Structure 1
Amino acid sequence: MTRPLFVLSNDDGHTSRGIRTMRDALSEVGDVVLIAPETEQSASSHALTLHRPLRLREVEAGVFAVDGTPADCIYVALHASTRVLPRPPDVVVSGLNHGLNLGQDVFYSGTVAAAREGALQGIPALATSAHTGADFEAACRLSAQLALGLYSAAPQAGPGGSRSGVGVGPLLSVNVPREWNGEVAPSRLGMRKYEELVDFRKDPRGREYFWLGGPGVRHEHAPGTDTDAFDRGYATLTALMLDLTNTTAGELLDRLSSPFRQAKERER
């Protein structure tokens, strides 16, 4: 029986402890090709590099580096023929991220974006993150088990290599706390409150520069959310949607669009 093929990426770079530990864990249950950024790309979200050339470097057997974003890495892996992957992958795994991706973090996260790029191409995908003080080996073993379960649960490859058969694949996000209680809690996205600020400073030559964001963050304790389960010691498992359409905003859309419809009717 052919072992599943995992394509592994992250936003911390190909040399990070998290991705190397994740590679070891995945290698126990399948074949792994690692393709990740040359340097850290945290909070790069789903950016693709379109206005400069990129470079692909084979670091060692089965390990590649791209001087771009996490989404670039998965895009290259999936569309570079057999330059990176020997066959279409069964699951895209991103992580293990050094830090959390709870609540609205998923909109900014390069880790989640790498997994999302795979899901957009119809491949089951798992983004996995952990508290920086967590047991990385245990977190990666858990993630490898979930990735294998995702492989087993997803349909076999359909037209164009899509294993979902419907154009997009399932996208899951995992977060492991520092003091993990050994259980996994299915959850929805919660809310994280960051200290929002723009910190203006002067360089030694008197020129102004600034940093975005403050160091403070807290969680909302809403039952059923990933933030709440995380704070209670659970590893959280959240299914993310690729369709961002707000189906409850019909009344607002009608109110905003009706003047244009009415003006067109008057012209008739």
Structure 2
Amino acid sequence: MRPLILLSNDDGYASPNLIALHAELAQLADVVVCAPEINQSATSHSLSLHRILRLRQHGPAIFALDGTPADCIYVALHAGERVLPRRPDVVVSGVNNGPNLGSDIFYSGTVAAAREGALRGIPAIALSADAKAERGAAAALGAKLALALYHATSAVAARPAPLLNVNIPAGASWPIRSTCIGVRLYSEEVVFREDPRGHEYLWIGGAGVRHDHVVGSDTEAYDEGAVGITALTLDISTQRNTDLLAVLINHIGSA
């Protein structure tokens, strides 16, 4: 039986990058697309709990949902056989138009779609590429990595389910590295303007970006023209600040 891959993204089901990745994956796997109807970049892991959603089919095994990337994976996995014929072997998200490096992983809808799959116990991979990466080469590499994840997890059961974040820089051929999360800093600003009717509106987020040097990081690999593969964790708790917590709890107890 060919592996079954659930494919999503945050750029929308008609994204040329998703279409290219779908074509590559379909050579060796059965693929079902469930992706946002329109661009949902930077929606992070939000779920649409307080409005109705509409699911539309745009071809054989191609579905678009007017919701977030996380919504798409949730609906696909919990809609019986309306979307998927069975539980997928891998969840693939991408290829995103632009990298998701450093703290981008907390905002990225691309990463969130993969994370939703991993939360449900399914190996998942988020793929992102520089706008100047050759689309066909990036899609081919993304498909190879996704299928390699399938074979690796078929041979060795990983618990919890692995969640990988991949960033492809500009170009058409790249070395590949195992990486950690780097530091990506944007020029943070709020721009206030006035519309033609005299009402104020605003834009958040600056266009400038730079990377602090972190050895072995995804940002370092990207800056040096290498593909970075970062293993993410679903457990974001930390043993740091335990002394602070002890003081806080003691303060509450003595208050």
State the TM bucket, normalised to the shorter chain: over 0.9
**Are the equivalent residues in 2 in contact too, given 1:103–1:190 (CA < 8 A)?**
yes
Unaligned runs of 5+ residues in structure 2 are none
The structure with more radius of gyration: 1
Question: C-alpha separation between the residues in 1 aligned to 2:184 and 2:63?
Answer: 34
Question: C-alpha separation between the residues in 1 aligned to 2:128 and 2:13?
Answer: 15
**Are the equivalent residues in 2 in contact too, given 1:128–1:174 (CA < 8 A)?**
yes
2:164 corresponds to: 172
- Misfit runs of 4+, over 2 Å: 179-182, 260-263
Question: C-alpha separation between the residues in 1 aligned to 2:133 and 2:142?
Answer: 13
Question: C-alpha separation between the residues in 1 aligned to 2:236 and 2:216?
Answer: 21
Question: C-alpha separation between the residues in 1 aligned to 2:241 and 2:173?
Answer: 39
**Are the equivalent residues in 1 in contact too, given 2:137–2:172 (CA < 8 A)?**
no
- Deviation, structure 1 residue 156: 7.6
1:184 corresponds to: 176
1:160 corresponds to: none
1:76 corresponds to: 75
1:149 corresponds to: 148
1:58-207 matches, within 5 Å, as: 58-155=57-154, 164=158, 166=159, 168-179=160-171, 181-207=173-199
- Out of 230, 236, 244, the residue aligned to residue 252 of structure 1 is 244
1:238 corresponds to: 230
The secondary structure found in structure 2 opposite 1:92 is: strand
TM-score of the pair, normalised by structure 2: 0.97
2:52 corresponds to: 53
Question: C-alpha separation between the residues in 2 aligned to 1:128 and 1:136?
Answer: 12
The secondary structure found in structure 2 opposite 1:210 is: strand
The answer to whether the aligner puts 1:212 opposite 2:204 as a matched pair is yes
Q: RMSD across aligned C-alpha pairs, in angstroms?
A: 1.4
The secondary structure found in structure 1 opposite 2:125 is: strand
- Deviation, structure 1 residue 219: 1.1
- Deviation, structure 1 residue 152: 1.1
- Deviation, structure 1 residue 149: 1.1
Amino acid at match of 2:63: F
**Are the equivalent residues in 2 in contact too, given 1:180–1:234 (CA < 8 A)?**
no
The secondary structure found in structure 2 opposite 1:129 is: strand
Q: Which 10-residue stretch deviates more, 102-111 or 174-183?
A: 174-183
**Are the equivalent residues in 2 in contact too, given 1:181–1:233 (CA < 8 A)?**
no
CA distances 1:234-265 after superposition (whole Å, capped 9, x unpaired): 011000111110112211111111122345xx
- Out of 209, 214, 233, the residue aligned to residue 222 of structure 1 is 214
Question: C-alpha separation between the residues in 1 aligned to 2:145 and 2:213?
Answer: 26
Aligned residues: 255
Question: C-alpha separation between the residues in 1 aligned to 2:165 and 2:27?
Answer: 21
Question: C-alpha separation between the residues in 1 aligned to 2:180 and 2:95?
Answer: 20
Question: C-alpha separation between the residues in 2 aligned to 1:147 and 1:254?
Answer: 43
Q: Which 10-residue stretch deviates more, 118-127 or 177-186?
A: 177-186
1:257-268 matches, within 5 Å, as: 257-262=249-254
CA distances 1:75-111 after superposition (whole Å, capped 9, x unpaired): 0010001000011000000000000100000000000
**Are the equivalent residues in 1 in contact too, given 2:137–2:173 (CA < 8 A)?**
no
**How high is the sequence identity, in percent, across the aligned residues?**
54
In structure 2, relative to structure 1, the CA distance for the partners of 1:48 and 1:38 (3 Å cut) is same
Amino acid at match of 1:42: S
